[in-house]
Amino acid sequence: MEKRVVFNGKLLPYLLLAPQLLITLVFFYWPAGQAVLQSFLVQDAFGLSTEFVWFENYQVLFSKPEYYKSMLTTAIFSSLVAFFSLSIALLLAVQADRHIKFASGYKTLLIWPYAVAPAVAGVLWLFMFQPSLGIVSQSMRVAGFEWNPLLRQDHAMMLVVMAATWKQISYNFLFFLAGLQAIPKSVIEAAAIDGARPARRFWTIIFPLLSPTTFFLLVVNIVYVFFDTFGIIDAATQGGPAKGTETMVYKVYSDGRSGGDLGGSAAQSVVLMVIVIALTAIQFRYVERKVQY
């Protein structure tokens, strides 16, 4: 789609584009290029000489068990968060879609966690589940369950999953509600006349018609878990205990911080870039974003 009527101007359009292009080139392309370049280089211990080594950094990276472990952690973390936040949000959206009283009030009461910073969400959940003084972990101890996310990897994972899910429900809820409201009521009424019960109507009509929304949200949720949960992990577990909650993004950060292996850290960044580009491509290629409001 193009405009038929345009303005004339030789220099003006370039001047208008200049600020954004300048910032983009300096802070996006230049560092991304640096990361790609660095991933092919090896620096000696004193930083005096560098050598071009082709894919050696990648070979080293993919021969390390820790890297596969962080991949596995990321996979577990994102599937759990996506599953729980999507199903809880769908359950709530279906209830709110029933034209009940106060539907908009419920909406307001459910969407605000979107605005809470991931790091703050991590701290809130950490406080409730802090082994010695947390309000939830104490009741768990009374019930005979020894809870300690500072020592147990599975407990730490549950903690970050809960915090990340809590934050993402609001977003999914909004999009599910919009998706539900776009389904024509006549279709549902027709099924009801044919004698389909609410549960059957949900699984045979509503759920299939929602699938574009669900798939879109699935991709968005995975991107969210990959990149936006850094604050949650850093605040709640710092990737621990014993790297039990270290996702790929967190690993780039903690490896880069401890310094040393510049090439390896750059190779990790490049792998992540490839993953984001793939996810974005999927989103644009396959997702029908026809959510109606």
Interaction with another protein in 200-259: which residues (CB under 8 A)? 216, 220, 227, 230-231, 234-235, 238, 249, 252-253, 256
Site for another protein contains 62 (CB under 8 A)? no
Site for another protein contains 187 (CB under 8 A)? no
One residue of 168, 213, 245, 265 binding another protein per CB under 8 A = 265
Which residues are 42's β-sheet partners? 51
The 64-93 site mask, x for binding another protein (CB under 8 A), equals ------------------------x--xx-
Residue placing its CB nearer to another protein in the complex, 110 or 210? 110
The span from the CA of 197 to the CA of 205, in Å, is: 11
Owner of token pair 């990276």: 61
CB of 178 to another protein, least distance (A): 7
Site for another protein contains 48 (CB under 8 A)? no
Residue placing its CB nearer to another protein in the complex, 72 or 117? 117
CA distance between the termini of the chain = 23
Site for another protein contains 38 (CB under 8 A)? yes
CB of 232 to another protein, least distance (A): 9
Element (H, E) at 35: helix 30-38
Q: Name the DSSP letter for residue 115.
A: G
Count, residues near another protein per rule CB under 8 A? 99
Closest CA relative to residue 125, chosen from 32, 117, 203: 117
**Restricting to residues 106-125, which ones interact with another protein according to CB under 8 A?**
106-125
Residue 50 φ/ψ, nearest 5 degrees? -125, 150
Sole window of 2-10, 44-52, 59-67, 76-84 interacting with another protein (rule: CB under 8 A): 2-10
CB atoms within 10 A of CB 187: 13
The 148-177 site mask, x for binding another protein (CB under 8 A), equals --x---------------x--xxx--xx--
SS3 label, residue 219: helix
One residue of 44, 47, 65, 100 binding another protein per CB under 8 A = 100
Written as six digits, the tokens of 253 are 């950060």
Residue placing its CB nearer to another protein in the complex, 23 or 72? 23
Closest CA relative to residue 34, chosen from 287, 290, 270, 291: 270
Closest CA relative to residue 169, chosen from 230, 253, 113: 113
Written as six digits, the tokens of 212 are 């574009």
Amino acid (1-letter code) at residue 129: F
Residue placing its CB nearer to another protein in the complex, 242 or 273? 273
